[in-house]
Structure 1
Amino acid sequence: MSKLQLDLPVLLPQILDERDQCVTRLLSALNAESGIEKAHLKEGSPPEICIHYDPDQLALAKVNAIAKRAGAEITERYHHLLLDVTGIRHQRHARQLGSRIGKATGILEAVVSGAGVARIEYDSTLTNEQTVRAAVAETDLIVIGTAQASPDHDDHAGHDHGPGEHGNNKKDDHAGHDHAPGAHGHNHDHGGIFGENTELYFAIGSGVFWLVGLILSFLGNIPEVVSTVLFVIAILLGGYFILIEAIQTIRQGKFEIDFLMLVAAAGACALGEFQEAALLLFLFSIGHALENYAMGRARKSIAALSDLAPPTALVKRGGTTTEVGVEELAVGDVIVVRPNSKIAADGVIVSGTSAVDQAPITGESVPVDKAPLANPNADVDLDTLPAEHRAFAGTINGSSPLEIRVLKLAGDSTLSRLVTLVKEAETQQSPTQQLTDKFERYFVPAVIGLVFLLLFAFLVIDEPFSKSFYRAMAVLVAASPCALAISTPSAVLAGVARAARQGVLIKGGRPLEDLGGITALAFDKTGTLTEGKPRLTKVIPADGLTENDLLTVAVAVEELSDHPLAAAIVEGGKERLSTTTTVPTAKKLEALTARGVKATVNGQAVHIGNRRLFRELTGTEIPATIDQQMGELEATGNTAMIVHRGDTYLGVIAVMDVARPEAKATLAALKEVGIQKMVMLTGDHQKVADAVAADIGITDPLGGLLPEDKVAAIERLRAEEGMVAMIGDGVNDAPAMAKSNVGIAMGAAGSDVALETADVALMADRLDNLPFAIGLSRKAKAIIRQNLVMSLGMVVILIPLTLLGIAEIGPAVIAHEGSTLVVVGNALRLLGYKGPGK
Structure 2
Amino acid sequence: MTKTVQLDLPLLLPDAPEASDACVARLIASLGQKPGVARVHVAEGGTDPLLCIHYDPEYLTLGQVRRTAQAAGAEIDARFGHISGQIVGVRHVRQARSVQAALTDQHGVLEARLDPSGALRLEFDRTRIDQGQIEALIQSQGLVFVAAASGSRDAGMETRAVVDGEPSLRGHAVRAAEDHTVGLVLNPTEAAPPSHVQEGESPHDHAPGGEDTHDHAHGGFLGPNTELVFAFACGAALALGFGLENLASGLPVWASIACYIVAYGFGGFFTVGEAFENLRRKRFEIDTLMLVAAAGAAALGAWAEGALLLFLFSIGHALEHYALGRAKRAIEALADLAPRTAHVKRGDQIIELPVDQVEVGDTVVVRPNERLPADGFVVAGVTSVDQAPVTGESMPVDKQPVADPALARADPSRLEPASLVFAGTINGAGAIEIETTRKSSDTTLAKVVRMVSEAETQKSPTQRFTDRFERIFVPVVLALAFLLLFAWVVVDEPFRDSFYRAMAVLVAASPCALAIATPSAVLSGVARAARAGVLIKGGAPLENLGSLKAIAFDKTGTLTEGRPRITDVVTVRGTRQADLLATAVAVERLSDHPLAEAIARDGAERLGSAPIATASDVRSLTGQGVTALVEGETIWIGKPEMFGRGDVGALSDETTAAVEQLRLQGRTLMVVRKGARDLGVIGLLDTPRAAARGTLTALRNLGISRMVMISGDHQKAAQAIAGQVGLAEAWGDLMPEDKVEAIKKLRAEGKIAMVGDGVNDAPAMATATVGIAMGAAGSDVALETADVALMSDDLAQLPFTIGLSRRTRGIILQNLIVSLGVVAFLVPATILGLGIGPAVALHEGSTLLVVINALRLLAYRDPARAGAPDARRI
TM-score between the two structures when normalised by the length of structure 1: 0.81
Amino acid at match of 1:815: L
Query: What is the distance in 1 between the residues matched to 2:607 and 2:24?
Result: 62
Contact 1:382 1:750 in 2 (8 A): no
Amino acid at match of 2:314: S
Query: What is the distance in 1 between the residues matched to 2:596 and 2:183?
Result: 49
Structure 2 residue 847 is the aligned partner of structure 1 residue 820: yes
Cα gap change, 1:314/1:2 in structure 2, threshold over 3 Å: closer, same or farther?
closer
Structure 2 residue 745 is the aligned partner of structure 1 residue 716: yes
Query: What is the distance in 1 between the residues matched to 2:289 and 2:859?
Result: 34
Structure 2 residue 297 is the aligned partner of structure 1 residue 268: yes
Q: Deviations over 1:716-765 (max 9, x none)?
A: 11112x10000101010011101100001111110101100111111111
793-802 vs 489-498, which moves further: 793-802
Query: What is the distance in 1 between the residues matched to 2:853 and 2:316?
Result: 14
Cα gap change, 1:419/1:42 in structure 2, threshold over 3 Å: closer, same or farther?
closer
Cα gap change, 1:288/1:163 in structure 2, threshold over 3 Å: closer, same or farther?
closer
Instruction: Give 1:463's aligned residue.
Output: 493
Contact 2:172 2:183 in 1 (8 A): no
Cα shift at 1:160: 5.0
Instruction: Give 1:624's aligned residue.
Output: none
Instruction: Give 2:531's aligned residue.
Output: 501
Cα gap change, 1:331/1:220 in structure 2, threshold over 3 Å: closer, same or farther?
closer
Contact 1:673 1:836 in 2 (8 A): no
Query: What is the distance in 2 between the residues matched to 1:796 and 1:322?
Result: 66
Query: What is the distance in 1 between the residues matched to 2:420 and 2:18?
Result: 29
Alignment of 1:215-234 (within 5 A): 219=247, 221=249, 225=253, 228-234=257-263
Q: Deviations over 1:196-226 (max 9, x none)?
A: 1111111223234445555676648586946
Instruction: Give 1:394's aligned residue.
Output: 424
Structure 2 residue 309 is the aligned partner of structure 1 residue 293: no
Cα gap change, 1:36/1:241 in structure 2, threshold over 3 Å: closer, same or farther?
farther
Cα shift at 1:257: 1.1
Query: What is the distance in 1 between the residues matched to 2:372 and 2:53?
Result: 46
Q: Deviations over 1:16-65 (max 9, x none)?
A: 4566442454466457x674799887899999979898988766754553
Contact 1:294 1:490 in 2 (8 A): no
Query: What is the distance in 2 between the residues matched to 1:438 and 1:473?
Result: 24
Q: Deviations over 1:354-395 (max 9, x none)?
A: 000111110111110000011233334332211011111111
Query: What is the distance in 1 between the residues matched to 2:171 and 2:862?
Result: 29
Alignment of 1:760-799 (within 5 A): 760-799=788-827
Cα shift at 1:809: 1.9
Q: Deviations over 1:237-293 (max 9, x none)?
A: 222212222122223332211000111122222223233222221221122112211
Amino acid at match of 1:446: V
Amino acid at match of 1:66: T
Structure 2 residue 835 is the aligned partner of structure 1 residue 808: yes
Alignment of 1:203-222 (within 5 A): 203-211=231-239, 219=247, 221=249
Instruction: Give 1:86's aligned residue.
Output: 88
Cα gap change, 1:165/1:511 in structure 2, threshold over 3 Å: closer, same or farther?
closer
Query: What is the distance in 2 between the residues matched to 1:70 and 1:584?
Result: 52
Instruction: Give 2:545's aligned residue.
Output: 515
Query: What is the distance in 2 between the residues matched to 1:41 and 1:565?
Result: 28
372, 377, 383: which one aligns with 1:348: 377
Contact 1:5 1:48 in 2 (8 A): no
Amino acid at match of 1:331: V
Cα gap change, 1:339/1:671 in structure 2, threshold over 3 Å: closer, same or farther?
same
Q: Secondary structure at the match of 1:495?
A: helix
Query: What is the distance in 1 between the residues matched to 2:858 and 2:440?
Result: 28
Alignment of 1:281-430 (within 5 A): 281-378=310-407, 379-430=409-460
Q: Secondary structure at the match of 1:200?
A: helix
124-133 vs 291-300, which moves further: 124-133
Instruction: Give 2:715's aligned residue.
Output: 686
Query: What is the distance in 2 between the residues matched to 1:9 and 1:239?
Result: 48
Amino acid at match of 1:757: T
Structure 2 residue 181 is the aligned partner of structure 1 residue 161: yes
Instruction: Give 1:250's aligned residue.
Output: 279
Amino acid at match of 2:231: A
Instruction: Give 1:699's aligned residue.
Output: 728
Cα shift at 1:507: 0.7
Count of residue pairs brought into register by the alignment = 760
Q: Secondary structure at the match of 2:405?
A: coil
Q: Secondary structure at the match of 1:99?
A: helix
735, 739, 758: which one aligns with 2:786: 758
Q: Deviations over 1:488-525 (max 9, x none)?
A: 11111111111111111111111111111111000000
Instruction: Give 2:856's aligned residue.
Output: 829
Cα shift at 1:818: 1.2
Query: What is the distance in 2 between the residues matched to 1:55 and 1:566?
Result: 32
Contact 2:190 2:441 in 1 (8 A): no
Query: What is the distance in 2 between the residues matched to 1:586 and 1:17?
Result: 46
Contact 1:76 1:159 in 2 (8 A): no
Q: Secondary structure at the match of 2:318?
A: helix
Structure 2's unaligned 5+ residue stretches are: 151-162, 164-169, 198-202, 204-212, 569-576, 589-593, 614-653, 671-681, 867-874
Query: What is the distance in 2 between the residues matched to 1:16 and 1:584?
Result: 46
Structure 2 residue 98 is the aligned partner of structure 1 residue 100: no
80-89 vs 109-118, which moves further: 109-118
Cα gap change, 1:681/1:106 in structure 2, threshold over 3 Å: closer, same or farther?
same
Cα gap change, 1:436/1:634 in structure 2, threshold over 3 Å: closer, same or farther?
same
Q: Secondary structure at the match of 1:787?
A: helix
Amino acid at match of 1:12: L
Q: Secondary structure at the match of 1:816?
A: helix
CA RMSD of aligned residues (A): 4.2
Query: What is the distance in 1 between the residues matched to 2:225 and 2:185?
Result: 33
Cα gap change, 1:152/1:678 in structure 2, threshold over 3 Å: closer, same or farther?
farther
Amino acid at match of 2:564: P
Percent identity of paired positions between Structure 1 and Structure 2: 51
Q: Secondary structure at the match of 2:713?
A: coil
Q: Secondary structure at the match of 1:659?
A: coil
Query: What is the distance in 2 between the residues matched to 1:808 and 1:163?
Result: 49
Instruction: Give 1:550's aligned residue.
Output: none
Instruction: Give 1:611's aligned residue.
Output: none
Contact 1:164 1:411 in 2 (8 A): no
Instruction: Give 2:145's aligned residue.
Output: 143
136-145 vs 88-97, which moves further: 136-145
Cα shift at 1:446: 2.9
Cα shift at 1:179: 6.2
Q: Deviations over 1:173-213 (max 9, x none)?
A: 961425699xxx99634253211111111122323444555
Cα shift at 1:565: 9.0
Contact 2:553 2:707 in 1 (8 A): yes
Q: Secondary structure at the match of 1:340?
A: coil
Contact 2:582 2:607 in 1 (8 A): no
Query: What is the distance in 2 between the residues matched to 1:744 and 1:36?
Result: 36
Cα shift at 1:587: 7.6
462, 468, 478: which one aligns with 1:432: 462
Cα shift at 1:794: 1.3
509-518 vs 81-90, which moves further: 81-90
Q: Deviations over 1:405-462 (max 9, x none)?
A: 1111111111111111111111222222222223323433332222122111212333
Contact 2:43 2:52 in 1 (8 A): no
Amino acid at match of 1:775: G
460-469 vs 368-377, which moves further: 460-469
Instruction: Give 2:75's aligned residue.
Output: 73
The structure with more radius of gyration: 1
Alignment of 1:549-560 (within 5 A): none
Query: What is the distance in 1 between the residues matched to 2:291 and 2:828?
Result: 22
Query: What is the distance in 2 between the residues matched to 1:353 and 1:96?
Result: 54
Q: Secondary structure at the match of 2:456?
A: helix
Amino acid at match of 1:177: P
